[in-house]
């Protein structure tokens, strides 16, 4: 049973009585770190906001587990590529946390072209005492300097700083759609429409192209890469999904270039449901390995599929996300919604999966009980700590109470990005410029 | 930052104006304050002068005030931290000598845990250095606990740093502490994070070197075997490096049972990166395991690497062909090469990957000295010739650049028939970098082929490069001429190249006219005073009338350049009037360079 926990963002607009939010505030990615203590969001304005979970406090027990802003920084700025006359948006496409290596936290953020490694660190001491000036900053008369002072570190209010440690640029001709850190903690991949590049986290002037599907003649292009991810444990394995609905698994041990895959996952098309939109809706928008590394989950326009790595010819499980849209594909094509890229996530034990839909709805599927639920992320319908009510979309026939008809769904309110706490049942859902955090049970 | 600097200058001035503080303190006070300046360059500057600060503070205050401050200064930029880590390695005397050297441990310990690898490595390097200055007692009381703290730290950054410190304290501590150190190293070899396992694997060899042989056999071998079969190939490949040191330490009779199973497994690893590492370290491995095992095991392993399915591995192995063959036991070296290695080499000549072919081409010529004249002519020559005709220019270049080895064995005549077309083709390659590369080999080739062959076949090429449309080629071509003259002498220059170079002074293209000047700049020295004065100078002087300003100011530059070669009287009577005239030229740059030449370093005496 999920309860509303917190909402971030957008509040100011409501207080000021206007309901328009800045385009740049739209959240474009959301990601928990490996301990779940931190949560990062990136937005269209190139900003990254990091939230930290409050530690237990006796005075305010109800605040335990609340996520509060820890650090906000501008990760990317708009740029212009003068050679190609192209504007490069500052929008953060993906954020990936690195496993913690010392007291500081590290994350990778990327826009269309450039990946950056950020360090977020705390500082609680400040040096004090100068030789050449006094406490108020006034310059001292040099003749009065008769002894040397070594600065002393004094405690100060905690300060959180974000510093760009590395900038990985100039390696992508097309738009970066995903980044993924290897379990060897030494390398990561960045993926654009046609290529996958392998980087060493410490080296910015060189990357290795490991997959290149660019045809010699661009007119023969039939397929693009939509997403790629490393296996959580096997450092040599990664998977990438394509716009044709297939997933390729590559083994980096076999060869330096991974143009040849070692496994190819694809479901044969059902001729009876074939339509003009078949190819578009089968395009995979996200691929994720399960935490245990046995399964792959993919999201296409209407379904989420779970694949067993040992079975290439069909998915193990298929879940309908919003099958009621099948009849509306034509209008969804006309308003471009059919090209929306929904992401999907596993819960910590790989037993439940979550993905987004329209009208600020998001869906959860329990793989064991086969039960599914539709929930809504909305400020109007839920107060803090309220239990989320399952929502239902009515399909034809009579509309029952509490049901919402397909025609009244708001397609401008879409939930594309969600993330699940790595151990606990806490989820974060990005709905345009709002971030909702829901928690299983609140003490 | 700017305002801060200005402030500093103004205070300096007030001070100079007459204050009576302690004069020696002021610069130190500035240095100390700048340890926390906003400008990273000033901080860096202060850190680099840390010894000056410490000296001024004295050993006592350095220990009690400066070092505690530095211990907490780990928020700074990497370059500042790097400089700090380095400084502290040389700080022993500044804290009061070996007796107090342990005071340096806290700041270095905190630097050894930062996330930046170069800083950590430098901190470890300094710790290793000062460990030698610890007395055996201090080593156990202060240093060894630090190693333990790092080894059991929460973050892998500290544990990776610990890996580099075991080998320096182990030889100097008691046997109980030794046992603890071995235990710590064992733990880190099976650490959860691959970073630490990699650090341990990369230090395994050096740790093995300081261990007693019994422990090498019992402890190190099992760790080595475990790391070499780690699930992460980035760890396994580092074990290959350790293999070299371990094999060197063990007596020959133990190698077969203790090392070879692991090495064989690595040579056939599923991951190409591990096999690449084996290929890359092959010569070292070969030396470490000795001739017998080489014959029985490494020869077939090497054959497999040369035939590997991954081009990167084949290229790495191809690179080692010469060294491997050279180090084979002499008694049956020729037989092994002819029957086992050469067939693989032949296949590599027509490999599908050009990196493999060019790796081979860079070493294959070396085989001729090992195999002798007859084998070279019969077996290697066809391969050289095939590579000289390879479609990839890099392959051809690599062959040409190593001609000297063959020259010694069979003489270059055998090759010259095929050499010439190959050189001509490279000389005219569409890529200017290829042309540049072949130009650079010209002096070498000229030396090998002799002046006759050169005049007959290559001279035209060398002159043609002078009018290449790429500046870098023209520039390299002038430099090439100079080297040729160094080889063949001034007489040769006067007869073959000087007339052609000077002829270009009348070319309608001003770029070619300038090339004449560049050539003269390069050649005047090697050609000597006579040729310079009689043949080159008149041409240069005449060019001062050129209608293109670029030519004219290059005349000024040339005159400055060749001045030292000329006689005083020539300078006075011929050069100076021309420069004087150029100094009143309507073009600004011409004027500038004429003045430069007139006041140039080599001329002031003559002209003043």
Q: What is the pLDDT of residue A381?
A: 59
Question: What whole-number distance in Å separates Cα of residue B162 and Cα of residue B152?
Answer: 9
Least confident of A76-90, A315-329, A373-387, B112-126: A373-387
Whether residue B11 and residue A152 make contact (CB cut-off 8 A), yes or no, is no
**Residues of chain A contacting residue B32, judged by C-beta atoms under 8 Å apart:** 131, 148-151
Question: What is the mean predicted confidence (pLDDT) over A84-106?
Answer: 92
Question: What is the mean predicted confidence (pLDDT) over B255-284?
Answer: 95
Question: What whole-number distance in Å separates Cα of residue B325 and Cα of residue B321?
Answer: 6
Whether residue B32 and residue A106 make contact (CB cut-off 8 A), yes or no, is no
Q: What is the pLDDT of residue B19?
A: 42
Task: Tell me the nearest-neighbour CA distance from B599 into chain A, angstroms.
Answer: 44
For residue A270, pLDDT over 90 is answered with no
For residue B2, pLDDT over 90 is answered with no
Whether residue B156 and residue A101 make contact (CB cut-off 8 A), yes or no, is yes
A141 token code pair: 């008369």
| pLDDT level of residue B437 (50, 70, 90 thresholds) | confident
A145 to chain B: closest CA residue: B21
Phi, psi of A369 (to 5 degrees): -85, -10
The angle at the Cα of B298, spanning B296 to B302, to the nearest 5 degrees, equals: 130
Task: Tell me the nearest-neighbour CA distance from B66 into chain A, angstroms.
Answer: 6
| pLDDT level of residue A61 (50, 70, 90 thresholds) | low
Largest Cα span, chain A: 94
The answer to whether A381 touches A325, Cβ cutoff 8 Å, is no
- As a whole-number percent, the residues of chain B with pLDDT over 90 amount to 58
CA A249 from centre of chain? 22
Whether residue B233 and residue A235 make contact (CB cut-off 8 A), yes or no, is yes
Whether residue A143 and residue B20 make contact (CB cut-off 8 A), yes or no, is yes
The answer to whether A418 touches A429, Cβ cutoff 8 Å, is yes
| pLDDT level of residue A62 (50, 70, 90 thresholds) | low
The angle at the Cα of A109, spanning A103 to A112, to the nearest 5 degrees, equals: 170
Whether residue B14 and residue A141 make contact (CB cut-off 8 A), yes or no, is yes
**Residues of chain A contacting residue B311, judged by C-beta atoms under 8 Å apart:** 256
CA dist list (Å): B529 to B253, B516, B533, B537: 70, 18, 6, 10
**Residues of chain A contacting residue B28, judged by C-beta atoms under 8 Å apart:** 148
Whether residue B22 and residue A145 make contact (CB cut-off 8 A), yes or no, is yes
- As a whole-number percent, the residues of chain B with pLDDT over 70 amount to 95
Phi, psi of B226 (to 5 degrees): -65, -45
Task: Tell me the nearest-neighbour CA distance from A267 into chain B, angstroms.
Answer: 30
Mutate to test the interface with A, among B5, B18, B58, B75 (most CBs of A within 10 A): B75
Question: What whole-number distance in Å separates Cα of residue B548 and Cα of residue A293?
Answer: 72
β partners of residue B420: none
Question: What whole-number distance in Å separates Cα of residue A344 and Cα of residue B300?
Answer: 50
Q: What is the pLDDT of residue A398?
A: 72
β partners of residue A105: A120
| pLDDT level of residue A134 (50, 70, 90 thresholds) | confident
DSSP string, B131-186: HTTS-HHHIIIIIHHHHHHHHT-SSHHHHHHHHTTHHHHGGGS-HHHHHHHHHHHH
| pLDDT level of residue A442 (50, 70, 90 thresholds) | very low
Tell how strand A225-230 and strand A237-242 pair up: antiparallel
**Residues of chain A contacting residue B69, judged by C-beta atoms under 8 Å apart:** 127, 150-153
Task: Tell me the nearest-neighbour CA distance from B6 into chain A, angstroms.
Answer: 12
β partners of residue A305: A298, A318
Mutate to test the interface with A, among B234, B235, B353 (most CBs of A within 10 A): B234
**Residues of chain A contacting residue B268, judged by C-beta atoms under 8 Å apart:** none
Q: Quick: pLDDT tens for B45-93.
A: 999 999 999 999 999 999 999 999 998 877 788 899 999 999 999 999 9
Instruction: Say whether A417 sits in a helix, a strand or coil.
Output: strand
Tell me what ipTM this predicted complex has.
0.85
Q: What is the pLDDT of residue B137?
A: 93
**DSSP structural state of residue B429:** -
| pLDDT level of residue A146 (50, 70, 90 thresholds) | confident
The answer to whether A72 touches A48, Cβ cutoff 8 Å, is yes
The angle at the Cα of B150, spanning B145 to B156, to the nearest 5 degrees, equals: 165
Whether residue A256 and residue B198 make contact (CB cut-off 8 A), yes or no, is no
For residue B23, pLDDT over 70 is answered with no
Whether residue B155 and residue A119 make contact (CB cut-off 8 A), yes or no, is no
Mutate to test the interface with A, among B25, B46, B58, B68 (most CBs of A within 10 A): B25
| pLDDT level of residue A59 (50, 70, 90 thresholds) | low
The answer to whether B443 touches B477, Cβ cutoff 8 Å, is no
The answer to whether A97 touches A106, Cβ cutoff 8 Å, is yes
β partners of residue A420: A427
B11 token code pair: 């205070």
For residue A401, pLDDT over 70 is answered with yes
The answer to whether B232 touches B197, Cβ cutoff 8 Å, is yes
Mutate to test the interface with A, among B115, B161, B192 (most CBs of A within 10 A): B115
Q: Quick: pLDDT tens for B363-420.
A: 999 999 999 888 988 899 889 888 888 888 889 888 888 887 887 788 777 777 777 8
A147 to chain B: closest CA residue: B25
- pTM equals 0.83
Whether residue A146 and residue B22 make contact (CB cut-off 8 A), yes or no, is yes
**Residues of chain B contacting residue A234, judged by C-beta atoms under 8 Å apart:** 231
Q: What is the pLDDT of residue A64?
A: 62
B56 to chain A: closest CA residue: A148
**Residues of chain A contacting residue B26, judged by C-beta atoms under 8 Å apart:** 142, 145
A378 token code pair: 């909305």
What's the mean pLDDT when you consider all of chain B?
Answer: 88
Mutate to test the interface with B, among A98, A131, A159 (most CBs of B within 10 A): A131
Task: Tell me the nearest-neighbour CA distance from B110 into chain A, angstroms.
Answer: 11
A412 token code pair: 């401008």
**Residues of chain B contacting residue A152, judged by C-beta atoms under 8 Å apart:** 65, 69
Instruction: Say whether B447 sits in a helix, a strand or coil.
Output: helix
**Residues of chain B contacting residue A101, judged by C-beta atoms under 8 Å apart:** 115, 155-157, 195
Task: Tell me the nearest-neighbour CA distance from A43 into chain B, angstroms.
Answer: 27
Residues comprising chain A, all counted: 443
Q: What is the pLDDT of residue A57?
A: 62
Task: Tell me the nearest-neighbour CA distance from A328 into chain B, angstroms.
Answer: 48
**Residues of chain B contacting residue A108, judged by C-beta atoms under 8 Å apart:** none
Instruction: Say whether A249 sits in a helix, a strand or coil.
Output: strand
**Residues of chain B contacting residue A123, judged by C-beta atoms under 8 Å apart:** 75
Q: Which of A423, A416, A344, A420 is nearest to A32 (CA)?
A: A420
Least confident of A391-405, B146-160, B516-530: A391-405
Task: Tell me the nearest-neighbour CA distance from B383 into chain A, angstroms.
Answer: 28
Task: Tell me the nearest-neighbour CA distance from A210 into chain B, angstroms.
Answer: 13
CA dist list (Å): B103 to B35, B74, B419: 20, 17, 67
Mutate to test the interface with B, among A101, A122, A181, A188 (most CBs of B within 10 A): A101
Contacts of A307 (CB under 8 A, 6+ apart): A247, A265, A295, A296, A297, A298, A315, A316
What's the mean pLDDT when you consider all of chain A?
Answer: 89
| pLDDT level of residue B606 (50, 70, 90 thresholds) | very low
The answer to whether A111 touches A202, Cβ cutoff 8 Å, is no
Question: What whole-number distance in Å separates Cα of residue A51 and Cα of residue A36?
Answer: 10
| pLDDT level of residue A441 (50, 70, 90 thresholds) | low
A102 to chain B: closest CA residue: B155
**Residues of chain B contacting residue A99, judged by C-beta atoms under 8 Å apart:** 193
Whether residue A131 and residue B32 make contact (CB cut-off 8 A), yes or no, is yes
Q: Which of B361, B381, B385, B362 is nearest to B371 (CA)?
A: B381
């Amino acid at each position: 049973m999920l309860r509303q926990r917190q909402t971030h963002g957008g509040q100011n607009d409501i207080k000021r009585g206007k309901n328009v939010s800045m385009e740049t505030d739209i959240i474009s990615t959301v990601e928990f770190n490996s301990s779940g203590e931190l949560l990062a969001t990136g937005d269209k304005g190139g900003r990254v906001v990091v939230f930290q979970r409050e530690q237990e406090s006796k005075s305010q027990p109800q605040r335990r587990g609340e996520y509060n802003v820890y650090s906000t920084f501008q990760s990317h700025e708009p740029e212009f590529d003068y050679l190609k006359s192209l504007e490069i948006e500052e929008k953060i496409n993906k954020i990936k946390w690195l496993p913690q290596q010392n007291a500081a936290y590290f994350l990778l953020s990327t826009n269309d072209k450039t990946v950056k490694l950020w360090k977020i660190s705390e500082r609680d001491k400040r040096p004090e005492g100068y030789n050449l000036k006094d406490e108020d900053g006034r310059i001292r008369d040099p003749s009065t300097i008769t002894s040397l002072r070594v600065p002393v570190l004094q405690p100060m209010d905690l300060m959180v700083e974000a510093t760009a440690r590395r900038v990985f640029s100039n390696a992508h001709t097309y738009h970066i759609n995903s980044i993924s850190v290897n379990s060897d903690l030494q390398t990561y991949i960045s993926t654009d429409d046609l290529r996958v590049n392998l980087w060493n986290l410490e080296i910015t002037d060189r990357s290795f192209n490991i997959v290149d599907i660019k045809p010699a003649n661009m007119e023969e292009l039939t397929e693009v890469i939509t997403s790629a991810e490393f296996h959580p444990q096997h450092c040599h394995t990664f998977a990438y999904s394509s716009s044709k609905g297939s997933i390729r698994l590559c083994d980096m041990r076999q060869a330096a270039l991974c143009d040849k895959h070692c496994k190819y996952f694809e479901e044969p098309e059902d001729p009876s449901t074939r339509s003009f939109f078949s190819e578009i809706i089968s395009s995979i928008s996200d691929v994720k390995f399960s935490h245990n590394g046995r399964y792959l989950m993919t999201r296409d326009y209407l379904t989420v599929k779970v694949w067993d790595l040992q079975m290439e010819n069909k998915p193990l499980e298929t879940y309908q996300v919003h099958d009621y849209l099948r009849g509306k594909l034509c209008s969804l094509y006309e308003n471009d919604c059919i090209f929306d890229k929904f992401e999907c996530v596993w819960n910590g034990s790989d037993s439940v999966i979550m993905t987004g839909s329209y009208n600020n709805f998001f869906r959860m599927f329990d793989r064991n009980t086969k039960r599914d639920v539709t929930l809504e992320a909305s400020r109007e319908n839920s107060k803090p700590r309220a239990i989320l009510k399952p929502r239902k979309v009515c399909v034809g026939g009579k509309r029952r109470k509490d049901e919402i008809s397909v025609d009244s769904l708001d397609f401008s309110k879409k939930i594309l990005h969600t993330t699940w706490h790595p151990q606990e049942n806490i989820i974060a859902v990005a709905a345009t410029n709002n971030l909702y955090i829901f928690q299983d049970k609140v003490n | 930052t700017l305002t801060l600097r200005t402030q500093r200058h103004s205070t300096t001035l007030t001070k100079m104006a007459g204050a009576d503080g302690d004069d020696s303190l002021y610069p130190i006070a500035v240095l100390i304050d700048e340890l926390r300046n906003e400008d990273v360059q000033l901080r860096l500057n202060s850190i680099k002068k840390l010894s000056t600060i410490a000296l001024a503070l004295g050993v006592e205050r350095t220990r009690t005030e400066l070092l505690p401050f530095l211990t907490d200064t780990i928020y700074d930029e990497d370059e500042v931290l790097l400089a700090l880590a380095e400084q502290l390695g040389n700080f022993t005397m500044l804290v009061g000598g070996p007796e107090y050297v342990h005071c340096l441990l806290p700041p270095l310990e905190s630097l050894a845990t930062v996330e930046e690898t170069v800083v950590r490595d430098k901190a470890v390097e300094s710790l290793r250095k000062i460990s030698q200055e610890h007395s055996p007692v201090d080593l156990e009381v202060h240093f060894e606990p630090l190693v333990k703290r790092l080894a059991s730290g929460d973050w892998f950054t500290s544990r990776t740093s610990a890996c580099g410190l075991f080998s320096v304290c182990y030889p100097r501590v008691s046997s109980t502490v030794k046992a603890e150190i071995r235990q710590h190293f064992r733990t880190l070899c099976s650490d959860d994070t691959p970073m630490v396992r990699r650090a341990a694997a990369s230090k395994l060899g050096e740790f093995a070197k300081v261990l007693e042989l019994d422990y090498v056999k019992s402890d190190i071998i099992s760790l080595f075997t475990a790391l070499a079969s780690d699930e992460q190939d980035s760890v396994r490949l580092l074990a290959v490096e350790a293999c070299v040191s371990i094999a060197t330490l063990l007596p020959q009779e133990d190698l077969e049972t203790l090392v070879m199973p692991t090495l064989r497994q690595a040579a056939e690893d599923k991951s190409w990166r591990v096999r690449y590492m084996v290929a890359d370290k092959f010569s070292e491995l070969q030396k470490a395991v000795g001739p017998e095992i080489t014959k029985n095991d490494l020869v077939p392993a090497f054959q497999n690497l040369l035939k590997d399915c991954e081009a990167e591995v084949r290229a790495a192995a191809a690179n080692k062909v010469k060294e491997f063959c050279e180090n084979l036991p002499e008694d049956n070296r020729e037989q092994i090469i002819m029957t086992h290695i050469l067939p693989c080499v032949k296949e590599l000549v027509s490999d599908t990957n050009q990196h493999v072919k060019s790796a081979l081409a860079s070493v294959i010529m070396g085989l001729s000295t090992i195999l002798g004249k007859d084998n070279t002519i019969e077996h290697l020559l066809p391969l050289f010739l095939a590579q000289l005709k390879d479609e990839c220019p890099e392959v051809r270049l690599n062959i040409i650049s190593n001609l000297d080895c063959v020259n010694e064995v069979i003489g270059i005549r055998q090759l010259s028939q095929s050499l010439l077309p190959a050189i001509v083709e490279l000389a005219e390659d569409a890529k200017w970098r290829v042309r540049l590369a072949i130009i650079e080999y010209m002096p070498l080739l000229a030396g090998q082929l002799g002046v006759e062959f050169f005049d007959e076949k290559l001279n035209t090429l060398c002159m043609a490069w002078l009018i290449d449309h790429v500046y870098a080629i023209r520039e390299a071509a002038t430099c090439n001429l100079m080297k040729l003259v160094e080889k063949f002498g001034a007489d040769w220059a006067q007869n073959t190249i000087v007339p052609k170079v000077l002829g270009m002074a009348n070319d309608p293209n001003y770029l070619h006219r300038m090339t004449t000047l560049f050539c003269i700049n390069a050649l005047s020295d090697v050609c000597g005073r006579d040729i310079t004065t009689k043949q080159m100078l008149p041409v240069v002087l005449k060019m001062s009338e050129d209608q293109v300003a670029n030519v004219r100011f290059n005349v000024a530059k040339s005159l400055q350049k060749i001045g030292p070669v000329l006689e005083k009287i020539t300078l006075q009577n011929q050069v100076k009037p021309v420069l004087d005239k150029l100094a009143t030229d309507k073009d600004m740059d011409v004027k500038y360079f004429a003045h430069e030449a007139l006041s140039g370093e080599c001329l002031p005496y003559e002209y003043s």
